[in-house]
Structure 1
Amino acid sequence: MNFDFDTPVNRRGTNSYKWDSDHVGDDVLPMWVADMDFRTAPAIIDALRTRVEHGVFGYVTVPESYYDAVISWFARRHGWEIKRDWIQYTSGVVPAVSAIIKAMTRHGDKVVTMTPVYNCFFSSIKNNGCQVLECDLVYQDSTYVIDYDKLDHCLSQDDVKLLLLCNPHNPACRVWTRDELLRVGELCIAHGVTVVSDEIHCELVMNGNKFTPFASISQELQDITITCNSPSKSFNTAGLQIANIICNNGEIQAKIDRAINDNEVCDVNPFGVEALIAAYNYGEPWLTELCQYIESNYLLVKTFIEENLPSIGVTKLEGTYLVWLDCKSLGKTSDELTRVLDDRAGVLVNSGTMYGAAGEGFIRLNIACPRSQVTEALHRMMPVLKSL
């Protein structure tokens, strides 16, 4: 490998939410918050170093090279042709999702999402005065599939305005196929529902799977889709706060722009701009090796659990760096498992119920860290889980 993912980086004392939160003790391994413990791509570090050396960090305009980088990246990697005037920048995917919900709904409207799903979906919907309509995915054969009949029923209900889609899906580890997305899109068209597709994990794809941008499938689907993406997950730059909303409908764009300004998330910082340009123009070799490393970490987890904790199910990892473990056989709630692993193993994981009622009995483990850390976490967890 040309890049070093094995050497640990000490993140304590850097005001890291993952490592320095009050409840994260000095002897605790934090395997929870979805950021990586790797240094980002050297090309990004070099671009930021150049910007720092300039020494002036005033308000920033977003240059044409920013839009060129976004357009080139998605055309090159995913065959999705984006036009310059479809792109609206903002400070993050969560603020983007919140602004879109504000723009596209009225108080009391319903927003459908397929659960278990990223916890901020729930808060973004509720904080905008809308109702969450959960459409549970079906867990079978160590993976998740969509219940299209149930989705059809949910989308057909009165006052449903949006489907909030996670593609790839966190925490279900799915990279939805083109055919699956097409069936979802056909249902949304039939019921007049707009799709908001959170595609922040789109580059973290492995095991031979292929990411398909929802809006790229057809003109019909592009016309009903608002896409949110960012390099932040793939390149570990979440703290730089940059994201894009991509939509080809000028009327919808105007509504979103108003909501972005109402929510005061219309400005971005110079480091986010420079990081995105460097990531999309020069970061691809680093990203390729990153995905290979994460896939190897996953295989380590899968093998270890199959050999030492066979009653625990390991969900197939198609995308993201978040392993979803089925612990229902242990007879404990997700919250109980999370507490006991923190108290007795010194390993901090996410409780499955953060992601909706469908997550009960599961825990989420972040494996975007050096292999030595994954190994240590597994060896800490094993005796505790065996004792339950």
Structure 2
Amino acid sequence: MSVDEFVKKYAVDRHHTNSLKWDALDERFGNPDLTAMWVADMEFQEPQAVTDALIKRVQHGIYGYSLTPDSYFEAYAAWQKKRHNIDLKKEWLTFDNGVVGSLYTIVNTFTKPDDAVLVLTPVYYPFHNAVNDNGRKLIKSELVRTDNHFEIDYDDVERKIVENDVKLFIQCSPHNPVGRIWTADELDRIMDICQRHGVLIVSDEIHQDIEIGERKFVSALSIADGRYQDDLIIVTAPSKTFNMAGLLNSHVIIPNQKIQDQFLAGKKRFNEVDLSVLGQVAAEAAYRYGEEWLDGLLEVIRYNYDQVRVTLNREVPQIKVAELEGTYLLWLDLRDVMPADQIKDFIQNKVGIAVDYGEWFSDYGLGCVRLNLATDPKFVKAAVDRIVADLK
């Protein structure tokens, strides 16, 4: 399916649908007329098979307590094997209502107040919140940028783990917001450091299906023939892949039975929830029948990325456009074209878009913005054209 065909078939106007992304613009940014390119969801409808599955379930008319059918695991495991060569075992899989909630439960379950938790910044700001809101000590290791590419500072990571007696490491893979898909060697190296120092590893792999460049996603589950599985928790969900965050269905994958038992006990104390019936119906249909839709979506994201990268590199090369390997979230560094304290006025009042600002992800991020590319290309083109016109 071409980009034009996908957009024509699936793009929708989300105004006046109680959309956080569009209908909270006045509350969040002070201007209801901005073009929303911030929070990570999309302007594209689900695959038709998902809608059909939901309609069929809704027509049943009962939404009581439910079980997860074996067919769900079969669909999800087949998807993981085909797309990412992951050999998933059913006994590893538990469910939650969202990745962020799982992070809060994990922090509360596996650390004590004032324990240190490490993250690689700039990173998705709920990572910070899950640590700070629960009275733990947030330790940041800044990623190192070379041109438009980001790398892990392994010496800094190990030094901070030792100096702060870090108990938990939360990584984002693929990394939000800088768009890296970590290689097997990179994951092996950082997880080896954690394992040698007794640090539990949490890998947020929610963006695993959004592969934009040539590099393929590699799960932490698969590294070194499963060497780290006993020290590993994976959190993920269909919400980023298929735009279904509002259906509250996520996965927590824990190969180590003792750690899984601790997590489930922690859920009972901190966040006991039942599964989302409609969320699981939608996800199973998406995993069974959504592959063509996803491939079409990826073409749209690649097209949007190329629009931004090619135009800005040609017209305003001082703006540093991060290499986008994974996620649909593009990191732009504007510090060489204007002072950081002018960026909000420029982005909102001149360009007319709502974005996630870099300082939300780390202090280092001041002067950068995160741009959501999972949207109609007309919004991306208009935004880039206005950036170029104003700066030139």
> Which TM-score band (shorter chain)?
over 0.9
Q: Which moved more, 1:337-346 or 1:175-184?
A: 337-346
Question: Quick one: which amino acid aligns to residue 276 of structure 1?
Answer: A
**2:89 counterpart residue number:** 83
DSSP-derived class of the 1:107 partner: coil
Question: Quick one: which amino acid aligns to residue 306 of structure 1?
Answer: N
- Contact conserved, 1:338 with 1:348, CA < 8 A, in 2? no
**2:296 counterpart residue number:** 289
Structure 1 gaps of 5+ residues are none
Whole-angstrom CA distance in 2 between matches of 1:370 and 1:49: 26
Q: CA deviation at 1:288?
A: 1.5
Q: Which moved more, 1:4-13 or 1:267-276?
A: 4-13
Question: Quick one: which amino acid aligns to residue 295 of structure 1?
Answer: R
Whole-angstrom CA distance in 2 between matches of 1:102 and 1:19: 33
Q: CA deviation at 1:274?
A: 0.6
Q: CA deviation at 1:63?
A: 1.7
**1:5 counterpart residue number:** 7
Q: Which of 58, 61, 64 is the equivalent residue of 2:70? A: 64
1:285-331 CA-partner distances (Å, limit 9, x unpaired): 11112112211110011111122222111111001111100111023
- Contact conserved, 2:229 with 2:256, CA < 8 A, in 1? no
Question: Quick one: which amino acid aligns to residue 157 of structure 1?
Answer: E
**2:361 counterpart residue number:** 355
Whole-angstrom CA distance in 1 between matches of 2:61 and 2:77: 29
- Root-mean-square deviation (CA, aligned residues, Å) is 1.6
**2:229 counterpart residue number:** 222
Q: Which of 14, 17, 36 is the equivalent residue of 1:14? A: 17
- Give TM-score, length-normalised by structure 2: 0.94
Question: Quick one: which amino acid aligns to residue 215 of structure 2?
Answer: N
Q: CA deviation at 1:372?
A: 1.1
Question: Quick one: which amino acid aligns to residue 179 of structure 1?
Answer: D
Q: Which of 363, 371, 380 is the equivalent residue of 1:365? A: 371
1:50-100 CA-partner distances (Å, limit 9, x unpaired): 122222222322222222222222122222212111111000010111111
Whether 1:236 aligns to 2:243 is yes
Q: CA deviation at 1:265?
A: 4.5
DSSP-derived class of the 1:328 partner: coil
The number of aligned residues is 385
1:189-235 CA-partner distances (Å, limit 9, x unpaired): 11111110000000001211110001211332111110001111011
Counterparts in 2 of 1:38 and 1:329: CA distance versus 1, 3 Å: same
- Contact conserved, 2:6 with 2:296, CA < 8 A, in 1? no
Question: Quick one: which amino acid aligns to residue 386 of structure 2?
Answer: R
Q: Which moved more, 1:320-329 or 1:341-350?
A: 341-350
Whole-angstrom CA distance in 2 between matches of 1:293 and 1:65: 31
- Contact conserved, 1:338 with 1:350, CA < 8 A, in 2? no
Whole-angstrom CA distance in 1 between matches of 2:221 and 2:363: 29
Whole-angstrom CA distance in 2 between matches of 1:381 and 1:26: 20
**1:379 counterpart residue number:** 385
Deviation >6 Å, runs of 4+:
none
Whole-angstrom CA distance in 2 between matches of 1:33 and 1:317: 17
Whole-angstrom CA distance in 2 between matches of 1:57 and 1:266: 15
Whole-angstrom CA distance in 1 between matches of 2:164 and 2:39: 36
Q: Which of 262, 265, 274 is the equivalent residue of 1:258? A: 265
Question: Quick one: which amino acid aligns to residue 294 of structure 1?
Answer: I
- Contact conserved, 1:43 with 1:282, CA < 8 A, in 2? yes
Residues 1-388 of structure 1 correspond to what in structure 2 (within 5 A)? 1=1, 4-6=6-8, 8-21=11-24, 22-23=26-27, 25-217=31-223, 218-333=225-340, 336-386=342-392
Whole-angstrom CA distance in 1 between matches of 2:71 and 2:133: 35
> In percent, how many aligned pairs have the same letter?
38
Counterparts in 2 of 1:338 and 1:352: CA distance versus 1, 3 Å: same
Q: CA deviation at 1:263?
A: 2.8
Whole-angstrom CA distance in 2 between matches of 1:129 and 1:159: 16
Q: Which moved more, 1:300-309 or 1:220-229?
A: 300-309
- Contact conserved, 1:338 with 1:363, CA < 8 A, in 2? no
- Give TM-score, length-normalised by structure 1: 0.95
Whole-angstrom CA distance in 2 between matches of 1:275 and 1:124: 28
